[in-house]
Amino acid sequence: MSDFRGLRFAALAAKIAALETGGRAAAGALPFGDAGLDDHLPGGGLPLGRWHEVTGAGLEAETSAAPAAFAALMAAPLARRGQAVWVLRRDDLWAPGLAGLGFPPERLIQVCARDEAETLMVMEDALATVGVCAVLGEVEGVDLTAGRRLQLACEKRGGTGFVIRRRPFGGSARKEATGSVAATRWRVGPAPSEPPAGEFGLGAPRWRVELERCRGGRTGAWILEAAKAYSWEAGDVAHPLRLVARLGDRELAPAQPAQRRAA
């Protein structure tokens, strides 16, 4: 009797796992290359074959500069494997800026949509297209129905989606639907850059990044920067985003010997 009950529990667990993955095997994960971040994510990296939500705060809700840059660098390794599609509401994406960050603009197709509904529809079509590995779309919000449709589109070809939350023309915030089928939810804001030791001027762009929600993983917060030495041909680094510190590390860092003597 106990063996039969165990088999029933195993079958139920398998059915739940199939529902959570849409009935398909996991498409793998894309590691950031640092255990301090990868250990928070299921499979040791950003889940592929799913869609992810990237949002900002304050003025970023309209301009979405920091969330867009962060999403572009998350998608950059995928763009090297195939085509990338970016669905816009405002025609203000600057391709040279993406190239400066390390995103391959020659692999990018830009589509300007008329409204939210068209943006989501184009994202679905792009995710289900052969040869497209990454799709980025700027929308104000994704309800549960639209989220499930995006996930089904991801599962058709194993593409990965990035929803950049943006109110492109300002206005009041739209009420969010409770719950989400996104694999991860990131909140991104700018962080002060630091030039290399012994140099003056600006350093590599940095972002304050919070992983607010992660299915099968755990939340966290970090300072990340664009890896300036990144070279796709030379393979200098494994990922165009580099972990600088966990938020709070500087405050918790031990005092230097000179500081101890002064104290």
Mean pLDDT, rounded, for 198-225: 91
pLDDT for 245 beyond 90: no
Fold of the domain spanning 23-192+200-262: Rossmann fold (3.40.50)
pLDDT digits (tens, 9 = 90+) for 218-244: 999 999 999 864 454 444 456 889 999
Read off the pLDDT band of 197 (50, 70, 90). Answer: confident
User: String of b and e for 227-241 (b: at least 16 CB within 10 Å)?
Assistant: bbebeeeeeeeebbb
Strand partners, 223: 208, 245
pLDDT for 7 beyond 70: no
pLDDT digits (tens, 9 = 90+) for 130-152: 999 999 999 998 999 999 999 99
Whether this model's pTM surpasses 0.95: no
Read off the pLDDT band of 181 (50, 70, 90). Answer: confident
Q: In what order do the strands lie in the sheet with 160-165?
A: 108-112, 83-88, 132-139, 160-165, 51-55, 184-191, 206-214, 220-226, 241-246
Let me know if 26 is exposed, middle or buried by CB neighbors in 10 A (0-12, 13-18, 19+).
Answer: middle
pLDDT digits (tens, 9 = 90+) for 59-85: 777 788 999 999 999 999 999 889 999
Q: Residue 157: count other Cβ atoms within 10 Å of its Cβ.
A: 17
**217 Cβ partners below 8 Å, 6+ apart?**
40, 41, 42, 184, 211
Strands (E), 89-128: 108-112
